[in-house]
A = this chain, B = another copy of it.
Amino acid sequence: MPEPLLTTDTEESLESPTLARRTFDSIKADIIGGQLAQGTKIVESDLALKYGISRGPLREAIHRLEQIKLIVRIPHAGSRVVTLDTKMMEDIYTARESLEGMAARLAARLMPDAEIAALSTLLDQHEASVGETEGKAYFQREGDIDFHFRIAVASRNQWILENLNGELYQLIRMCRHQSGQFPSRAQLALDQHRQIAAAIARRDEELAEILMRRHISGAWEIVKQILEEQNDSS
């Protein structure tokens, strides 16, 4: 099972066999991190020069970024970095609620006991970091994604895993970076994570799905308020 699709964006130039792949990762990081702002016009010649490559591989990278919806492209008119409006984020959170709910159900059915134990250990680490200084909000965010990622893996459903990890999580990360850190509902989230993990350990598919959907639906309500406040002030 060759599945090395973990995205550790700690450093760039992660040795990849192909140039297009590396450029894809670089641009993706730049977009999510905010170095390339929303709505920025993408000019192939300029970016090719900036990354020191030809337009061929760059084009492939752009096409892939378009597929994961970080870039929007119009046939002869060029391409721009996606603009995350409230409607799009609502669609994404709704889709995520659906897919992760199913993933939690599958995890309750299929997750090996060893993985469940590891999940519990992970939550213990998060518990420890909640008491820490508030500056670690970033790691708490990543920890949150880490928990959800493990559920997606445990679903043993390749399609769901790829779409959550490859597309939806990226857009949510981008939204977080650009909208500033969300308020630290870390303790609440942790409690909900614990309940979900408990339902999975009990092999209660129905409850696992319901709790996960409620968890994500609640998260969206928070995000929605923040986005609307930002829109009002503009």
A102 B91 Cβ-Cβ under 8 A: no
In the complex, are the beta carbons of B159 and A92 less than 8 A apart? yes
Neighbouring B residues of A92 by C-beta, 8 Å: 159
Please tell me if the beta carbons of B95 and A159 are within 8 angstroms of each other in the complex: yes
A118 on the B face (CB < 8 A)? no
Distance between Cα atoms of A181 and B64 in the complex (Å):
34
Chain B residue numbers with a CB within 8 Å of A102 are 94-95, 97-98
Q: Is the CB of B91 within 8 A of A95?
A: no
Which of A18, A158, A159 has its CB near the most chain B CB atoms (within 10 A)? A159
Q: How far is the CB of A76 from chain B (nearest CB, A)?
A: 6
Interchain CB contact (< 8 A) of A95 among B56, B75, B76, B99: B99
13 A-B contact pairs sorted by A residue (CB < 8 Å): A17-B75, A63-B63, A64-B67, A91-B160, A94-B106, A94-B159, A94-B160, A95-B102, A95-B157, A95-B160, A98-B98, A98-B101, A163-B163
